[in-house]
Amino acid sequence: MDMTRVGAVDCGTNSIRLLIADVSDGALTDVVREMRIVRLGQGVDATGEFAPDALARTKAALAGYAETMRMHEVGAVRMVATSAARDVANRDEFFAMTAQVLGEVVEGAVAEVITGDEEAELSFRGAVGELDAAAAPFLVVDLGGGSTELVLGAQDVTAGFSTDIGCVRLTERCLHSDPPTGEQIERARAVVREALDEALRVVPVEQAHTWVGVAGTMTTLAALAHKMTTYDSEAIHLSRVRFDDLLEVCDQLLSMTRQQRAALGPMHEGRVDVIGGGALIVQELAAVLGERAGIDELVVSEHDILDGIALSIA
């Protein structure tokens, strides 16, 4: 049985994540799974460029990941950059940095920007591997910092769309007060609805039987809905959250101050100031899926685009 040890890196708008895994016969066995909040997309929506301090934070995190990959003798590496890196004028600086750092692990390794469609497909592949096929078709929603992907399918993707909204982008654009004002929230809802209207013309969500949420906003909301005092990834993975509980948590987060959100046990400090934007996107998605597909719960997966990246290497 052939086995390959791979290193997958997902560099998003808010976080950068590492998965070192052994791949055999299309199955992954985790060796290391790690996440750091670097906010690479800080200010990108307004300036169109990566901020110097955001690049520095990302380089420091990636250098740490490179050392971990060397220590675990990774044989192949793939790093993908998503929404933030698609939008910036100074991305050559970012890619020069990633080539230097990754090249110390595997010669010639570089980061690559993937399209929204590629991001959607990798997210879907990573998310549905452990799900019961009888629950298909699945609508996988990857809610990131700069974009949100909606992907419909069973074993394979039948439709997908990447919207230009995410928790960081929406917060920076609309939610400026602490807590946000009612006027700011309504403006943000209008932005989300406009983006979802475009996605819904491409993705027939009424065909979905199961809503699967991935990435940090979704898992954090699930932890809060389950009333966890600390974040427990094993308990969260493949757990189910009824819409009543989910929407209650979203309402609470939008009415809280930053200090109140920071005091919540499962809340990562890097999500404190943007979780309200993510909660608002989830509220709008729940309304659409309840009305169009009769879905009344969210299934949350800890496996997502990072797993899809790892599977794509071997």
CATH architecture of 132-305: 2-Layer Sandwich (3.30)
d(CA 58, CA 37): 9
> With DSSP H G I counted as helix, E B as strand and the rest as coil, what are the percentages for the chain, rounded to 5?
50, 25, 30
Lowest-pLDDT range, 45-49, 57-61, 107-111, 122-126? 107-111
Max Cα–Cα distance, the chain, nearest Å:
59
The DSSP result for 102-137, as a single string, is HTTTSTT--EEE--HHHHHHHHHHHHHTTS-GGGPS
CB 162 within 8 A of CB 117: yes
Backbone φ and ψ for 239, nearest 5 degrees, come out as -80, 165
Element (H, E) at 284: helix 275-293
Domains 4-113 and 132-305 in one fold: yes
77-136 confidence digits (pLDDT tens): 999 987 667 778 888 898 899 999 998 888 877 788 888 788 888 889 889 988 989 999
CB 161 within 8 A of CB 142: no
Residue boundaries of the structural domains of the chain: 4-113, 132-305
198-228 confidence digits (pLDDT tens): 999 999 999 999 999 999 999 999 999 999 9
CATH 3.30.420.40 is the classification of domain 4-113: yes
pLDDT at 84 (0 to 100): 66
For the entire predicted model, the pTM comes to: 0.86
pLDDT at 1 (0 to 100): 53
Sequence-ordered list of residues with C-beta below 8 angstroms from that of 166, at least 6 positions apart, any chain: 13, 14, 83, 143, 144, 145, 146, 147, 148, 277, 278, 281
241-279 confidence digits (pLDDT tens): 999 999 999 999 999 999 999 999 999 898 999 999 999
